[in-house]
Amino acid sequence: MSSELKNLSSYNKDEVPSGERCSFGIVVSDWNDEITNALLEGAVQTLIEHGTDEKDIHIQHVPGAFELPFGASELSNKKKFDAIICLGCIIQGETRHFEFIADAVANGIMQVSLKEELPVIFGVLTTNTLEQAKERSGGKYGNKGVEAAITALKMSDI
C-alpha cells in the first residue's frame, strides 16, 4: 500500500481556503456503512472546521457506490452547490465485480463533473480488505472523507 509510511490526511490548514460562503453536497453510500459513516463524519467536520455553516452542507444517501454518480447528478441539478463530494467504499471480493463497480463509479463521477462543470470529488475507498478500509476511514492512514472535503474546499476556490 502506498500509504504505508504516512497519514494521508495530514495537510497544512493555512493552504486550505475558507468554506465560509460555500455550499456543499455530499453523496454517501450506505453500503459498508461502518466505513462510509466514518468518511461522512470526517468530511462534514472538516468542512465545518474550515468555516462552512452546517446548514450549507446537504447530505444525500444512496444504497451503494454504484449509485454515487446518479446521486451526484441529482444534486448538481439543484445548481446550488460549489462542489459535491462522493463518499463510498468498495472492498475487493473473490470475483471481478469489484473491478467493474470501481471503474464504473470513477468514470461516472468524472462524467458528472465534466458535464455539469462542477467539482465532483471522488472520495471512494477501493481496498483489498475491510481492515484497509478501516485504516483509511479514521485509522492510522487517515480519513479519505477529510481528504475529499479538503479537495472540495480547494476546488470551490478555483
pLDDT confidence band for 67 (50 / 70 / 90): very high
Catalytic option among 50, 58, 61, 97:
97
User: Any catalytic annotation for residue 97?
Assistant: yes
Residues 6+ apart with CB under 8 A from 78: 25
Alpha carbons 85 and 89: distance in angstroms, whole number: 13
Mean of the per-residue pLDDT values for the chain? 93
pLDDT digits (tens, 9 = 90+) for 46-60: 999 999 999 999 999
pLDDT digits (tens, 9 = 90+) for 84-126: 999 999 999 877 888 899 999 999 999 999 999 999 999 999 9
Alpha carbons 76 and 80: distance in angstroms, whole number: 8
Phi (first) and psi of residue 79, to 5 degrees: 55, 35
Q: How far is CA 32 from CA 1, 65, 74, 79, 91, in A?
A: 21, 9, 22, 29, 9
Residues 6+ apart with CB under 8 A from 18: 50, 51, 153
Which segments of 4-143 does DSSP mark as H helices, in order? 33-49, 68-76, 97-116, 130-135
Question: How far is Cα of residue 107 from the mean position of the Cα atoms in its chain?
Answer: 15
What pLDDT, on a 0 to 100 scale, did the predictor assign at position 9? 78
